[in-house]
Structure 1
Amino acid sequence: MNSVSSHSRDGRAGTGPALVETSVGARFAETARRRGNATALLWEQDGKVHRLDFATMLDRVESTAARLQQLADPGDRVALWAANSVDWILAEYGAAAAGMALVPMNPALTRAEAAHIVTDAGARVVLAGPPWRGHNLLESAEALTITPPPAVLPIEAVTRGDRITPSALPDVPPEAVLRIQYTSGTTGAPKGAVLTHLIGANVGPLSHLAMGLDEDEIVCSPLPFHHVGGSVCTSSAALLRGSAFVVLPSFDPAGTLALLRRAEVTYFGGVPTMFISMLEACGDSPDLPRLKWMMLGGSDSAPELISRVERAFGVEILNGYGQSEAPSSLQTNAGDPAWVKAATIGRVNPHREIRIADIGTGQSLGPGETGELCLRGRLTMSRYWHEDETQRSAAVDEEGWLHTGDLAEMDADGIVRLRGRLRELIIRGGENIYPAEVEAALIQHPAVAEAAVVAAPDEKWGQVPVAFIRPVATAPDPAALEEFARERLAGFKVPRAWHIVDTFPLTPSGKVRKVLLAQQLLDKDR
């Protein structure tokens, strides 16, 4: 378990092993050569569990890098629009080895949403996965109207085929851009969090090391690779240390439980909604004798759920905190007291500083006081795409502190409890939804004068978006509004309920008082 020591008057710092000052491609190559014939990837196909060893995976990664070198140069961006697969991981590591920045995209995105990301990132290549839930991703990628047009290929065009020896792979510095992780912006337009190779090469391995996992673990998570939780924090945590990783294309409670059993998984990571569904599927009797650890993250975790999971699965349950801009930043660890695992997000992980800042003054607060959770260090984002040191986002202040937007308190031992969200972020089953982005889509409807989107509690998803609409004149049909929204937004962002109002409650400065709208929803449920 990593310890926490006082770092300065303003913050605390996690202590631990030294950072590995290298690129993701170099670290994976070193690990793959060391692990050789040990299993790297497992997946189920045609009713059988298939395996790929580290040596073979390295060959395929280098061949992928060679094909990408024919399409782009080091430093160029490669957009990846696909669901979880072995090909996704090969493309991810191939791009890293070739010194190209990955731009992962959610397969649920509409063409308009994908076009914004590809354009903003300036991607030279778009790799599209096979059809996903009726969405032909390759066809949509080819239909993107972007100038200059990127090269569009099916993902398997670069990840499969005969072995190709790449030309000399670039010497990628640790501070080079590994990944541009787009996260919905509070202004309604997604912004790209810049994550370096240093972050990618260290965040996951340090987290697993702190938990007490060794390289012989078999790790599995159905979290989507287009989020840092599924890739940077989980699959890379396993593969860069030399552990095996089980690839799940999607989450199905019964199917996931069966594969965990067949693949003899020892560590499983997911979000609370997945754990609830798995408990319901197995009647709280999962029968997974090899499983030793489970990690919850991505949303608020009720203490009752953590206790229930520990009882049912008979494993060590851990809790984690992070965001696109600061992956795997805090966690509980094996051996922590039950109250720490059930009611907190643990301590800050190595090589980050943490402080709790007063909302009004920005000054550091003392133990037990609630303020904004702020993080700093080489393993947190320093800028968004298109920004530089002279043009910082408000998210990172002039002293380098990342303002997470989450309310928290920290005790004298460095243990942190989340207390709520300063920002209006809605987290639906681990997916982040920013109301401003949804509102920007809704007000395009000719019958909508104003829109306000707030979170409503939901037993399955934790939170879901709900829309309040002030019409131009006649109230629009909610079914028509939903159809309109689905044409412009990923399905998980579409409001689950619609309320037509004559006026909005406003602050003295004219801003909608969303807290009162959210309270109306709670009052109706009582």
Structure 2
Amino acid sequence: MQTRMNTEIMTARLEEAFGSFPDILTEWSWIKGDNLALIDERREVRWAELAGLVERLAVRLVETGLQRGQSVAILGTSSVEYALVFLAAVRAGGVAAPLTTSASPEQLAGMAKDSGAIHLFIDAAKAEELGPDFMADLIRVPLESIDQWMAPAGTRAPAFSPDPKDPFNIIYSSGTTGIPKGIVHSHQMRWRQFATTALSFLEAGIAVRSLASTPLYSNTTMVAFLPVLLAGGCVRVMGKFDCAKWLAHAAADRTTITMLVPVQYQRLMDFAQFDDFDLSALQLKYCTSAPFAADLKREVLRRMPGALIEIYSMTEGGVVCLLACHEFPDKLHTVGRPAPGSELKVLDDEDREVPPGTPGNLIGRSLTMMSGYKNRPDKTQEAQWIDPATGEAWMRMGDIGRVDADGFVELVGRAKDMIISGGFNIYPSDLEAELLKETGVVEAAVVGAASRNWGESPVGFVVLNNGVGDCAAIMA
């Protein structure tokens, strides 16, 4: 009886038009007590201690200079400590700014500077790789030592009541060279996005146990992280994806919800021992970030239990399309239909709407759009299409697609000149510029080739000066 009453109370809280993430987590801490909230290979955090750990980190962040709206940079492999710092940054009134681990030192320094962070939480592996002088002007805190760094038990950070427009996090785009753009999401955007998702978990009666196996610096991972906690569930955080470990965790934890990118689904399907594991608890599987082949969707539906939802959108927002693959087996070649609250238009190269069924440039708008690119109003403007009739901002999705008679969206190509490998964007021009730096290279071109392991892999072609060049150096 009490459990049902608590769930009804929290359901009502999530139905509100706007709410505070930290407040919801604190309330769940009172309700869930000894239930697990966060797990990784080394550590477990129960709900009864989650709010206290987040509070103590928030206290120390404020004591060491964090101001409202200021970023907290996080760099390292996903872990319980990483998740705690992310949540503490938001609780303290700051902005979580996870940095891409694969970025170059120059890019990382540029992202940290762009974010305005004065704190850098870094794990031991990245600290060793980058050296003690890397971003030495920031307050550097080892992720593995946050328990020693945080304030004493029982302390409380200053009250923080977020404004809907306050920044919640910055997710940096995954460029290969140059400084990636910082995509700013507001508290209102994240609430609209994830309170609704959490509410759907509770209304479906799912015992919410999530397995998050993509990096916490990726927007993809947020679906398996933030709404799970808003629903009072448990998140297992994987540091690095491994088929055997993923399957073992999913079976042992009785995982009910997961998010995987297409290459991860492909690797699981190819794993020789896949059928040896009990995945019967799975109820909801998500996929996003890269093209999801219809044949692979069919195989996943056949071999993995539970619903399969493909999400088509961008970190920046725009339209959100959803395909319930288990409900529409004849539409697996599409990315679904616009979700409630999302709108889609298809334009020609002169920004005129095209007739139904005609391929064109996809643009979209929804309630879950970015506030803009951090410090880049010019790039924000470039990414938008302004409706001349209403003045409303729409996001250019960067894809060519068409809408069928049933309203399902089929992608036919990409307008942006990019390769998507393992769920991340690779710009051919960046790689071509690097190839042109090699001695003897006079022309270079990079294209995407289909890859079973990565979805796509970049393949470079070069023209050498009189056919002479150091091929070994170029290949390296």
Quickly name the TM-score band, shorter chain normalised: 0.7 to 0.9
Runs of 4+ in 1 over 6 A off after TM superposition: none
Asked if the contact 1:331/1:346 (under 8 Å) is kept, the reply is: yes
- Residue correspondence of structure 1 range 107-118 to structure 2 within 5 A: 107-118=101-112
Q: 2:35 corresponds to which letter in structure 1?
A: A
Q: Distance in 2 between matches of 1:169 and 1:138?
A: 36
Q: Distance in 2 between matches of 1:281 and 1:181?
A: 32
- Residue correspondence of structure 1 range 384-395 to structure 2 within 5 A: 384-388=373-377, 392-395=380-383
Match of 1:76 in 2: 70
Match of 1:197 in 2: 187
Match of 2:469 in 1: 476
**Shift in Å at residue 164 of structure 1?**
5.2
Q: Which moved more, 1:101-110 or 1:200-209?
A: 200-209
**Shift in Å at residue 441 of structure 1?**
3.6
- Residue correspondence of structure 1 range 60-459 to structure 2 within 5 A: 60-71=53-64, 72-131=66-125, 136-137=126-127, 140=130, 142-144=132-134, 149-158=137-146, 162-163=152-153, 165-184=155-174, 188-207=178-197, 209=199, 213-214=204-205, 216-230=207-221, 232-283=222-273, 285=275, 286-326=277-317, 329-333=320-324, 336-340=327-331, 342-358=332-348, 360-388=349-377, 392-398=380-386, 399-459=392-452
Q: 2:452 corresponds to which letter in structure 1?
A: E
Q: Distance in 2 between matches of 1:129 and 1:466?
A: 32
Asked if the contact 1:299/1:427 (under 8 Å) is kept, the reply is: yes
Judging by fraction of residues, say which structure has more helix: 2
Asked if the contact 1:215/1:243 (under 8 Å) is kept, the reply is: no
Match of 2:22 in 1: 25
- Residue correspondence of structure 1 range 503-514 to structure 2 within 5 A: none
Considering Cα pairs closer than 8 Å and 6+ residues apart, tell me whether 1 or 2 has the greater RCO.
Answer: 1
Asked if the contact 1:106/1:226 (under 8 Å) is kept, the reply is: yes
Q: Distance in 2 between matches of 1:196 and 1:165?
A: 27
Q: Distance in 1 between matches of 2:49 and 2:471?
A: 53
Match of 1:38 in 2: 35
- Residue correspondence of structure 1 range 483-522 to structure 2 within 5 A: 483=476
Matched position secondary structure for 2:291: coil
Q: What RMSD in Å do the two structures reach over aligned CA positions?
A: 2.8
**Shift in Å at residue 186 of structure 1?**
9.9
Q: Distance in 1 between matches of 2:79 and 2:319?
A: 22
Asked if the contact 1:111/1:140 (under 8 Å) is kept, the reply is: yes
Q: Distance in 1 between matches of 2:147 and 2:161?
A: 22
Q: Distance in 1 between matches of 2:384 and 2:301?
A: 37
Q: Distance in 1 between matches of 2:20 and 2:284?
A: 28
Q: Distance in 1 between matches of 2:354 and 2:28?
A: 42
Matched position secondary structure for 2:383: coil
Asked if the contact 2:186/2:371 (under 8 Å) is kept, the reply is: no
Matched position secondary structure for 1:481: helix
Asked if the contact 1:175/1:196 (under 8 Å) is kept, the reply is: yes
Matched position secondary structure for 2:384: coil
Asked if the contact 1:77/1:121 (under 8 Å) is kept, the reply is: yes
Q: Distance in 1 between matches of 2:442 and 2:62?
A: 49
Q: Assess, with a 3 A threshold, how the Cα gap between structure 1 residues 124 and 411 changes in structure 2: closer, same or farther.
A: same
**Shift in Å at residue 138 of structure 1?**
5.4
Q: Distance in 2 between matches of 1:137 and 1:351?
A: 43
Q: Assess, with a 3 A threshold, how the Cα gap between structure 1 residues 33 and 189 changes in structure 2: closer, same or farther.
A: same
Asked if the contact 1:284/1:313 (under 8 Å) is kept, the reply is: no
Asked if the contact 2:287/2:310 (under 8 Å) is kept, the reply is: yes
**Shift in Å at residue 201 of structure 1?**
2.6
Asked if the contact 1:429/1:461 (under 8 Å) is kept, the reply is: yes
1:445-489 alpha-carbon deviations (Å, 9 max, x no partner): 454444332211112211011223344666433432354xxxxxx
Q: Which moved more, 1:423-432 or 1:327-336?
A: 327-336
Asked if the contact 1:384/1:393 (under 8 Å) is kept, the reply is: no
Q: Distance in 2 between matches of 1:410 and 1:29?
A: 44
Q: Distance in 2 between matches of 1:56 and 1:240?
A: 16
Q: Assess, with a 3 A threshold, how the Cα gap between structure 1 residues 472 and 247 changes in structure 2: closer, same or farther.
A: same
Q: Assess, with a 3 A threshold, how the Cα gap between structure 1 residues 170 and 425 changes in structure 2: closer, same or farther.
A: same
**Shift in Å at residue 391 of structure 1?**
7.8
**Shift in Å at residue 166 of structure 1?**
3.0
**Shift in Å at residue 30 of structure 1?**
3.8
Q: Distance in 1 between matches of 2:197 and 2:403?
A: 20
Q: Which moved more, 1:153-162 or 1:458-467?
A: 153-162
1:207-265 alpha-carbon deviations (Å, 9 max, x no partner): 465587545221112011110001x2221121112221111111110111011111111
Q: 1:216 corresponds to which letter in structure 2?
A: A
Structure 2 alignment gaps of length 5 or more: 1-13, 387-391
Matched position secondary structure for 2:39: strand
Q: Assess, with a 3 A threshold, how the Cα gap between structure 1 residues 138 and 272 changes in structure 2: closer, same or farther.
A: same
**Shift in Å at residue 282 of structure 1?**
4.2
Asked if the contact 2:319/2:364 (under 8 Å) is kept, the reply is: no
1:125-149 alpha-carbon deviations (Å, 9 max, x no partner): 1110121xxxx43562643368xx2
Asked if the contact 2:419/2:458 (under 8 Å) is kept, the reply is: yes
**Shift in Å at residue 106 of structure 1?**
1.9
Asked if the contact 1:215/1:241 (under 8 Å) is kept, the reply is: no
TM-score by length of 2: 0.86
Question: How many residue pairs were aligned?
Answer: 453
Matched position secondary structure for 1:108: coil
TM-score by length of 1: 0.79
